[in-house]
Amino acid sequence: MERMARIWLLLIQIVLGYEWLRGGLEKLETGGGFVKALPQTLARFAEKNPYPWMKSFLTGPATANATLFGNLVQWGELLAGLGLIAGALYLLFLAHRLNGVLRRVAGILVAIALLGGMIMNAAFGLAAGHTSPSTSGINLVMFFSQLMLLGFWIGVILQPVEERILERRPA
C-alpha cells in the first residue's frame, strides 16, 4: 500500500511538473513577447486587485523591473517543471540503485523546485486571483499540492537520518 501511495504522489508531481514546464516553454517560445507584454499584464492585474500592498507592488517594483520579473517567471516555471519531473522519475526508477547521499541531494533539489513553484503560485494567485475563480482556484490547488509533496520529499531527505537513529536504538 505504501508503495502505491508513493507512486500516486509522484504521478501528481509529474503532472504539476508538466504544467510548470509547459508554462515556462510557452513563455520562452514567444521570443521575448511575454517579457515585453508584462508591464501591461501587471497593470491589468493591479487595476482591481483587492490587496492594496499587492497593487502597490505590481504598479511599483514589479513594473519597474518587468524584464527581471518576466525572466524569473519564465525560467522559474521551466526549472520548477524540470525539477519536479526529474525528481519524480528518479525516485520511481533509480532511487533504489543509488546511495542515501544522492537521494538526499535529489530530495533537496526537488524541495527547491517545490518551494519555487509554491512562491510562484502564491504570487500569481495574489496578483491575478481576483480576475477569475479558476485563476484563484488552480493556484490554490497547485500551492497545496506542492506543499503536500514538500512534506513527502522532506521525508525522503530525512529518511537516512531516521534509519540511522532507529539503528542506534536498543531493541
Average pLDDT in the chain: 90
Q: What is the pTM of this model?
A: 0.88
Instruction: Tell me the per-residue pLDDT of 111-144, one tens digit each, with 9 for 90 and over.
Output: 999 999 999 999 999 999 999 999 999 999 999 9
pLDDT at 105: 86
pLDDT at 39: 97
The answer to whether 22 and 145 have CB atoms below 8 angstroms apart is no
Q: Which stretches in the chain have pLDDT values below 70?
A: 1, 98, 160-171
